Structure 1
Amino acid sequence: MRPNDDHHDGRGRERAGAADAIAEGVRGAGPGEIPARLCDVAVELLPVTGASVSLHSDGMPVQLGASSAQAAYVTEIQATLGDGPCQSAAQSGAPVLARDLTAGQDVLRWPVFAQQATAVGVRAVYSMPLGNDTVCVGTLDLYRDTPGDLTERDLRTARVVAGMMTVALMALPRMEEAGDPGDERWLSGLATDQDQVYQATGMIMAQLGVGTDEALARLRAHAFAQARMAVDVARDVVEHRLRFDVE
C-alpha cells in the first residue's frame, strides 16, 4: 500500500459516512421537507448548532429550510441587510468562514450583521456555496453559538453535505412533478416570496424614479429601520399598504 493510501481511504470513509447519514436523514421525506431535513443532518454531522439553506438569484435569497427558528432568523437577517457571510459566499462561489462575530476582522467586515447575529446567540457562521465551479445557486449556512474554526475534516464534511444539498435541490422540481400535488404549495410559496420582492422592487422604481439596485436598497433599508424582514415589507408594498414616495 502506498503511503497516501490510508489517507485517501480515510477520506473515502468520511464521505461514505456523511452520505449514509444524509440518505438516512431524507428517507421518506417529500420534496418540501428535504431542505430542512438536510439542515438537520448538517447539525448532526458537524460541530454547529444550526443550519439553513437558501437559493440565490437576482435580488433576494430565498430560504428553503432551516434546522431551527434561530437559524431561519439569522438567514433572514442577511437577506434583509443584503450583507453577511452567505451573501459573500454566493458572490464569490467559495466558502466564507466567519469564525468570530464578537471581535476582530469578521466584525469589521460585517458590523451590522455581526451585531444582529450575536444578539440572538450566533457567534460564528460558515457559509458553503451550492453549485459547481462556474455557477453558485445558493448557500448552506452553518451557525455556531461559540467562536471558533472548523477543522479540515469538518470542512470536508461540510463540502460533502453542500454537494448532496446541491444535487437534492436541483432534483426538487422533477420530484415535485412526479410526487404528491400537495408539494406544489411549497414550491409555489417560494415563488410567491421571490415574486413579491421583484414586484415590490418594480413598484418602488416607479414611485421614486430610481433603478433596480436603488429600489432594492430602499426596500432593505426600510425593513431594517423598522426591524422587519424584507419579504414582509415587500408584501406591504405589493398590497398597497406602503408607498415609498409618501414616506
Structure 2
Amino acid sequence: MVGVRPGDGPGDGQGDGAYERAVGAVAAGLRGAGPAEAPGRLCGVAVDLLPVDGASVSLRGDSMPLRLAASGDVAARLAELQATLGDGPCHHVLRTGAPVLARDLTDAACAERWPVFAQQALGSGVRAVYALPLGSTAVCVGTLDLYSASPGGLTAHELHVALLVAGVMTVALTDLPNDARDAGEGWLSGLAAGHDRVHQAVGMIMAQLGVGAGEALARLRGDAFAHDLTVLEAALDVVDRRRRFDTP
C-alpha cells in the first residue's frame, strides 16, 4: 500500500525492552562519530535494526533531493534514481511530510504511480520501500529511505524504531554547530558544490533552448536517465561543455 501513515502509538515490542535496546543500538552506532560520519552510520544502524537490506538519506534541495549517505551501492543508486527521475516515494514525502510505506512495488498502485522507479527498483532486487520524513509535515528537511528485497510491511514496533532513527538523523543534520559546518567537514560543502553544478547546468540549458527553469531541469533529467547517468553527472557534462542541448 502507498501513502500509509504510521499508527497512533509505538506498538508492540515496548514492554519487553526491545525499544530500549534499539535506542542503545543507535547510541552505540553514533559513538565517536563526527558530523560527516553520522548520516552514514545511522543508515547502517537502520539496516542492522530493521528487516531491510539498504538505507539512504537525502536532503531537500531547491530543485531536487540531494543524496547525503547510503548503506551500500543499491541504496545509493535508488536514491540517485529518484533525484534523476523527479519521482518516487522520496518526492512524495518531501511534498507532504508524511511517510510512504510501499509494501510491494509489484502492486498495480505502485506501478501506476512510479512506473519507471518501480521497474528500476525491482530490477535492482528491491520489492518494498519505506520512506520517512526528516522533520515534520510542517518542516521536512529530507528523507530516510529504507529498501527491502522482500515484500511486506513493517510492524508497529519496527516502524517506531525506523521513526526513531529518522528523528536522530534529523537532529544530527539540523543541530550541527556552526564551527562544524565551517570546518571543512566535506559532506555539506560537497553537497552544496554538486547542487551548484546542477543549477549552473540548468541555466546553461535555459540559455541554449530559450526555455524556463522547469523545462530545462526536465530536459537535464531526461538526458541523464537516457544515458544512465545521475543528474549531477549529466550536469557536469553540460557545465564542462561536453553536452549541449541546442545541437543534435
Q: TM-score, normalized by length of structure 2?
A: 0.90
| Aligned twin of 1:150 | 154
* Partner AA of 1:44 in structure 2: D
The answer as to whether partners of 2:12 and 2:156 remain within 8 angstroms in 1 is: no
Letter in 1 for 2:88: G
Asked if structure 2 preserves the Cα contact closer than 8 Å seen for 1:62 and 1:190, the reply is yes
Alignment partner of 1:123 out of 114, 118, 127: 127
Could you say if the C-alpha distance between residues 165 and 210 of structure 1 is closer, same or farther in structure 2, counting changes exceeding 3 Å? same
Contact 1:21 1:41 in 2 (8 A): yes
| Match for residue 135 of structure 1 among 135, 139, 145 | 139
Structure (1/2) with the larger helix percentage: 1
| AA aligned opposite 2:109 | Q
For structure 1, the residue ranges without an aligned partner over 5 or more in a row are 1-6
Secondary structure of 1:48's match?
coil
Q: How far has the Cα of 1:60 moved from its partner?
A: 1.7
SS of structure 2 residue aligned to 1:70 = helix
What CA RMSD, in Å, does the superposition of the two structures yield over aligned residues? 2.0
Query: Which whole-Å CA distance do the structure 1 matches of 2:179 and 2:124 have between them?
Result: 36
Residue aligned with 2:58, SS: strand
The answer to whether the aligner puts 1:200 opposite 2:201 as a matched pair is: yes
Which structure 2 residues correspond to residues 205-220 of structure 1 after superposition, within 5 A?
205-220=206-221
Provide closer, same or farther for how the CA distance between residues 241 and 11 of structure 1 changes in structure 2, counting only shifts above 3 A.
farther
Runs of 4+ in structure 1 over 2 Å off:
7-19, 171-175
Distance 2:27 2:126 in 1: 28
Q: Does 1:61 align with 2:65?
A: yes
With the length of structure 1 as denominator, give the TM-score of the two structures. Answer: 0.90
Aligned: 1:73 with 2:69: no
In the alignment, structure 2 segments of 5+ residues that lack a partner are 1-10
Superimposed CA distance per residue, residues 169-218 of structure 1 (whole angstroms, 9 cap, x where no aligned partner): 1123536148xx452x3322111111111111111111111111111110
Q: Does 1:239 align with 2:240?
A: yes
Amino acid at match of 2:148: R
- Partners of 1:177 and 1:201 in 2: CA distance: 27
AA matched with 2:140: C
CA 1:11–1:203 in structure 2 vs 1: closer, same or farther (change >3 Å)?
A: farther
Count of aligned residue pairs for this structure pair: 238
Using the TM superposition, give the Cα deviation of residue 126 of structure 1 relative to its aligned residue in structure 2, in angstroms.
0.4
Match of 2:165, SS?
helix
Q: How far, CA to CA, are the matches of 2:236 and 2:36 in structure 1?
A: 23
